[in-house]
Amino acid sequence: EPEVTQTPSHQVTQMGQEVILRCVPISNHLYFYWYRQILGQKVEFLVSFYNNEISEKSEIFDDQFSVERPDGSNFTLKIRSTKLEDSAMYFCASSEASLSETQYFGPGTRLLVL
Amino acid sequence: RKEVEQDPGPFNVPEGATVAFNCTYSNSASQSFFWYRQDCRKEPKLLMSVYSSGNEDGRFTAQLNRASQYISLLIRDSKLSDSATYLCVVTKNAGNMLTFGGGTRLMVKP
């Protein structure tokens, strides 16, 4: 069964450093998402991406965040200057089409900012 | 008011029990509704979509009441493997971002 993959599984970084989280969505999917989950809290939407551009973003997704699809398979989330409060599990998801189609989640990257 | 509200639990039930979870949502224009399951430190996985007519998948039954903005999940004949956090999820009318509730934790004991 096709699945979303994410690397790395864990990332530890110093405050102020840049991190890039990588995702490989399911191959025939067209919509890509990033969500985050701070430990003990709910899953929160960050950004959605379609046709090589951001289609929607939340208040969390400020200027420190960016997304890119550098080639035909990878989808990345960059945090330019990490803060302590960026420590969370970051989930990538993809869906075949928009609205009401199932989003499939990757296993997540656990980011710890020290 | 939270966009999607759930009782956090935990619900501690014996094997074989029937358990029901409820969820309310605040945006009356929400269009699609789901129950996801999340195991500890794992990704959310779709359990089932929820339709106005109600739908059943094996031991799981989901109901939607648009007038009351209320979603339910019923699990019959609970198994140990049902122990997880159950996430109520809705999509906003503006697009396809998922809005998650905080989850309801279920623990099924032998």
Q: Do A105 and B31 touch (CB under 8 A)?
A: no
Q: What's the rounded Cα separation, in Å, for the pair B28 and B31? A: 8
Q: What is the pLDDT of residue A30?
A: 87
Residue of A nearest to B31 (CA): A100
Q: Return d(Cα B39, Cα B22) in angstroms, integer.
A: 19
Tens-level pLDDT at each residue, chain A (114 residues): 789 999 999 999 999 999 999 999 998 888 999 999 999 999 999 999 988 899 999 999 999 999 999 887 899 999 999 999 999 999 999 988 765 578 899 999 999 999
Yes or no, beta carbons of B100 and A48 under 8 Å apart? no
What residues in A contact B87, CB-CB < 8 Å? 42-43
Relative to beta strand A75-79, strand A65-68 is: antiparallel
Highest mean pLDDT, choosing among A108-112, B23-27, B38-42, B63-67 = A108-112
Q: How far is A20 from chain B (nearest CA, A)?
A: 19
Question: How close A43 comes to chain B (CA, Å)?
Answer: 6
The burial class, CB within 10 Å (0-12 / 13-18 / 19+), for A5 is middle
Tokens 């309310």 map to which residue? Answer: B24
What pLDDT is stored for residue A91 in this prediction? 98
Sequence-distant (6+) residues with CB within 8 A of A1 are none
